[in-house]
Amino acid sequence: MSMSSNAHSATVSAAARLDRLPIFSFHRRMLALLGFIFFFELGDINTFGFAAPGIRLDWHETINTIATVTSATFFGMFLGATCGGALADRIGRKRALILTTAWYSVFSLANAAVWDVPSLFVVRLLTGIGLSAMTAVAITYIAEMFPAPLRGRYQAAILMVGLLGIPAAAFVARFTVPAFPWGWRLVFIWGGLGIVFPLFSRLLEESPRWFEHRGRHGEADAVLNRIEARAVHEKGPLAPPSIQMSEPSNANAFGDLFTPDNRYRTSLFAGIWMSQTLGYYGFLSWVPTLLVEHGFSLVNSLAWSSAMQLGGVPGALIAVLISDRFQRKWTIVVTALIIAACGLAYGLTFDSFYIMLFGFGVAMFIQTFAPMLYAYTAENFPTGIRSAGTGFTYGIGRLANVLGPLIIAFLLSRYGYQSVFIYIAACWTLVAAIVGLLGPRTMGKAL
């Protein structure tokens, strides 16, 4: 144990002790485990988009039915993000992570057993609750456990691992959906394999920042001592932490998001997440179905969608390289504008090469954008309401997207294919405007 960790443990904040740590096996283990649950969470969010063309053919349903079921998923995601964030502030980040991962996995498996549209509607809503709750908790956990100068980079690295789940789910759909009338059910079984995560969760530590904020200083100190002992064993003596006193212990209520001190940031991030979600899922959730509607075969639309989703991995790698290197506010603005341009170009071309090129570009830069916004959101809320604030604003975006599929179905039927992509580009342009004009600077900011 380093002398500095003992000398200051009673007075120095958990933030100061965590922020001075070097990256070692403790952080790499978190990267692997959180990447695993994001792998199936991100795959699961997109399973319905990949399964929808098969469901339409198997059950002879309309685009409007698919839109309604998609809306159920996003209403569930609103409930999950709001409740999951508040749950993590109450019972702890690690316990909430286990519960929410188990929830989304169980209900993803249940999707494979539905028998009609009403049962699919209910199960998708319940799946959505778990998916968004897990994401809200994980965003907060990552922000609190990685050193401040590197948290954006590791948020991106974890998401890069998780993003492999989207093309994996797409390729599962590519080979199962066209093969059998019921092949779409296998896509949901794949999405539920995250259910094994609780077996490995003992390898994670609870957030000492959360313990500290709840007044459980002995438990916070015990966690920090274990982490520091491993760091000293692997890396040698640690640098002394900055003299930063622990924040006052209190248990903030969900209503504190709307006090005069916090309601501006709550409103700001709710607006950002609403615009982002409408643009994000307007593209990713509808690409296979829109390509079929545009005249491409089911096999080709799923194959092309799978190939486009591969863009997410280099996109997250770009985020790893630029996060924490430039002011996060401005990298978010620039990336949102690039996505808007690629999305508009995608919708205005009918050449298969350019459809692939610009579709790949959208998928790539969306996943450059996502980890930066995850980190940016969490670092703007104080510890007592960090998970609740992240979850609520993230959830408001999902609530907005209850209308998103209905808007796309309306635009497609009334104004045609290209109008959908003009709308998607407008959503991303609005994200850039909100962050550019109103967003705070956060680079290297201590939580």
Q: What is the count of structural domains for the chain?
A: 1
- Tell me how crowded residue 294 is: count the other CB atoms within 10 A of its CB: 13
Any idea which of 122-131, 225-234, 379-388 has the lowest mean pLDDT? 379-388
Evaluate if residue 374 carries a pLDDT over 80: yes
Assess whether pLDDT exceeds 90 at residue 211.
Answer: yes
Is residue 443 a part of any domain in this protein?
no
CA distances from 312 to 38, 283, 363 (A): 13, 13, 5
Q: Say if residue 130's pLDDT is above 90.
A: yes
- Cβ atoms of 64 and 412 within 8 Å: the answer is no
Tell the burial category of 118 from Cβ atoms under 10 Å away from its Cβ (0-12, 13-18, 19+).
exposed
How many residues are listed for the chain in this entry?
A: 447
Residue the block writes with tokens 């319940």 = 126
How far apart are alpha carbons 198 and 37 in whole angstroms? 10
**Is 310 contained in some domain?**
yes
Q: What is the pLDDT of residue 288?
A: 65
Instruction: Please give the single-letter amino acid code of residue 128.
Output: G
Question: Quick one: DSSP state of residue 215?
Answer: T
User: Alpha-carbon distance 396 to 315, whole Å?
Assistant: 25
| 87-113 mean pLDDT | 92
Distances (CA, A) of 241 to 22, 234, 286: 12, 18, 49
pTM above 0.75, yes or no: yes
The whole-number pLDDT of residue 61 equals 80
What is the separation, in whole angstroms, between the first and last Cα of the chain? 25
Q: Which residues, in sequence order, are bridge partners of residue 422?
A: none
pLDDT band for position 3 (cuts 50, 70, 90): very low
Instruction: Examine residue 245 and state whether it is found in any structural domain, yes or no.
Output: no
Q: Count of alpha carbons within 13 Å of 324, Cβ hemisphere only?
A: 21
φ, ψ (nearest 5 deg) of residue 294? -80, 0
Average pLDDT, the chain: 84
pLDDT above 70: residue 4: no
Rounded Cα–Cα distance for residues 304 and 301 (Å): 5
Written as six digits, the tokens of 441 are 């600077």
Alpha-carbon dihedral sign for residues 175, 179, 180, 181: positive
The confidence score (pLDDT) of residue 149 equals 80
Q: Give 381-409 pLDDT, tens digit per residue.
A: 887 788 888 888 988 888 887 788 778 88
Residue 226 lies in a domain: yes
On whether residue 444 sits in a domain, the answer given is: no
Token pair for 384: 């007592």
What CATH number corresponds to the domain at position 351?
Answer: 1.20.1250.20
Q: Which element (helix H / strand E) includes 234?
A: helix 217-235
Q: Is 202 exposed, middle or buried (0-12, 13-18, 19+ CB in 10 A)?
A: exposed
* φ, ψ at 320 (rounded to 5°): -60, -40
Residue 111 or residue 257, greater confidence: 111
The answer as to whether 250 is a domain residue is: no
Q: Looking at mean pLDDT, say which of 9-18, 48-57, 142-151, 212-221 comes out highest.
A: 212-221
According to the model, what pLDDT value does residue 14 have? 86
- How far is the C-alpha of 216 from the C-alpha of 69, rounded, in Å? 43
Q: Buried b / exposed e across 369-404, counting CB within 10 Å, b at 16+?
A: bbbbbbbbbbbbbebbbbbbbbbbbbbbbbbbbbeb
**DSSP code per residue over 29-60:** HHHHHHHHHHHHHHHHHHHHHHHHHHHHHHHT
Cβ atoms 244, 417 nearer than 8 A:
no
Between residues 73 and 338, the one the model is more confident about: 338
- What are the distances in angstroms from CA 396 to CA 69, 220, 271, 389? 18, 32, 8, 11
C-alpha to C-alpha distance for 31 and 25, rounded to whole angstroms: 10
Instruction: Give yes or no for residue 2 having a pLDDT over 50.
Output: no
| Of 220, 195, 194, the residue nearest 205 (C-alpha) | 220
Q: Under 8 Å CB-to-CB from 420, ≥6 apart: which residues?
A: 282, 286, 290, 347, 408, 411, 412
Query: Which segments of 60-164 does DSSP mark as H helices, in order?
Result: 63-91, 93-111, 117-145, 151-163
* Domain encompassing residue 160: 3-236+256-438
Contact 313, 160 (CB under 8 A): yes
Number of C-beta neighbours around residue 201 at 10 A: 15
The answer to whether position 132 is within a domain reads yes
How large is the average pLDDT for residues 248-257?
65
Query: Band of the pLDDT at 29, cuts 50, 70, 90?
Result: very high
Determine, yes or no, domain membership for 213: yes
Q: Does the pLDDT value for residue 294 go beyond 70?
A: no
For residue 276, give the nearest of 369, 363, 158 by alpha carbon.
369
The radius of gyration of the chain's CA atoms, rounded to the nearest angstrom, is: 22
